[in-house]
Amino acid sequence: MQKKDRLRLESRARIMKALGHPTRLFIVETLESREHCVCELTATIGADISTVSRHLSILKQAGVVRDEKRGSQVFYALRVPCVLRLFECVESIVKKSAEEYLELSQ
């Protein structure tokens, strides 16, 4: 495989991997409406703030979110608008799995 192809696959995989955690998916969904500071997200999620901060750092490194420091707070926002569409596809996989499960159990 070409080096270029390998790099492309790796960067895509990094994004998918970043989205491959329930808490991080929740963060992305939350950011769909508007930007949030770390403290808001932490309050909603209920985990330790250090844990939330690490999740945000993973999303940021993958390029899914961007951060902006304002005063003592850091605000995170989605960096691309298409994540919702991405979820539609993922949801169709979930649905198909559920349908086939129902068919098999009939």
51 binds, among a second copy, DNA, none (CB under 5 to 8 A by kind): DNA
Choose among a second copy, DNA, none what residue 74 binds, the Cβ cut-off being 5 to 8 Å by kind.
Answer: DNA
Closest to a second copy by CB, 71 vs 88, is: 88
User: How far is Cα 101 from Cα 43, in angstroms, rounded to an integer?
Assistant: 36
Of 10 and 106, which CB lies nearer to a second copy in the complex structure? 10
Q: Is 51 near a second copy (CB under 8 A)?
A: no
Instruction: Pick one of a second copy, DNA, none as the site partner of residue 96 (Cβ within 5 to 8 A by kind).
Output: a second copy
Amino acid, single-letter form, for residue 79: R
Binding site for a second copy (CB under 8 A): 1, 6, 8-26, 46, 62-64, 79-80, 82-83, 85-94, 96-97
